[in-house]
């Protein structure tokens, strides 16, 4: 235990980053950087120190695309 946090020994040392820049997300999802930022603003996805939570962004993007397909 360190400073009130439990440190797990089974955690991978080189896990994939979960917080990415708008540029990295645009490359990964094949959309424009401005679209990434616009979606974050519209869906209230936080951009903290220039980074965006990939899992949260991906979930909102999938929901947005599903809504567009249903329309």
Q: What average pLDDT does the segment 54-59 reach? A: 95
How many C-beta atoms surround the C-beta of residue 57 within 10 A? 22
Residue 7's SS3 state is coil
Q: What is the pLDDT of residues 12-52, one digit of tens each?
A: 545 566 999 999 999 999 999 999 999 999 999 999 999 99
Measured between alpha carbons, how far is 68 from 42 in angstroms, rounded to an integer?
15
Quick check: 7 and 1 in contact, CB under 8 A?
yes
Measured between alpha carbons, how far is 36 from 61 in angstroms, rounded to an integer?
9
pLDDT of residue 51: 97
Q: Where are the beta strands (DSSP E) in the chain?
A: 19-20, 47-48, 51-53
Where residue 1 falls among pLDDT bands split at 50, 70, 90? very low
């Amino acid at each position: 235990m360190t400073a009130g946090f439990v440190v797990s020994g089974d955690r991978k040392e080189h896990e994939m980053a979960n917080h990415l820049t708008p540029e990295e997300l645009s490359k990964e999802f094949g959309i424009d950087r401005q679209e990434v930022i616009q979606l974050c603003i519209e869906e209230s996805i936080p951009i903290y120190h220039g980074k965006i939570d990939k899992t949260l962004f991906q979930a909102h993007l999938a929901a947005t695309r599903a809504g567009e397909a249903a329309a």
